[in-house]
Structure 1
């Protein structure tokens, strides 16, 4: 279940794209490839999870 994911010490509002494990985590959570996370950050100019979700079309 999506809500059962343990975020641990991850920042729940931003992704650090220089940390592969963070990119991988969010890619798995959103069901996309890691490159899609990087593309979203590049396209929006933001690393906020909200902006990434909007770019990817995720509710």
Structure 2
């Protein structure tokens, strides 16, 4: 897994898989991704950046 991995790069990483990732990361990092920004979470880098911004 690299920062440049995108949703379309992994067969199992579809919209349902993305929701599972979101739920797991919200629990792990004790954050809540804004609903209006969920569509932006399409890569590992996007998740990392969003978590960093929410933890400030």
Smaller-chain TM-score bracket: 0.3 to 0.5
> How does the TM-score come out when normalised to structure 2?
0.41
> How does the TM-score come out when normalised to structure 1?
0.40
Decide which structure has greater helix share.
Answer: 2
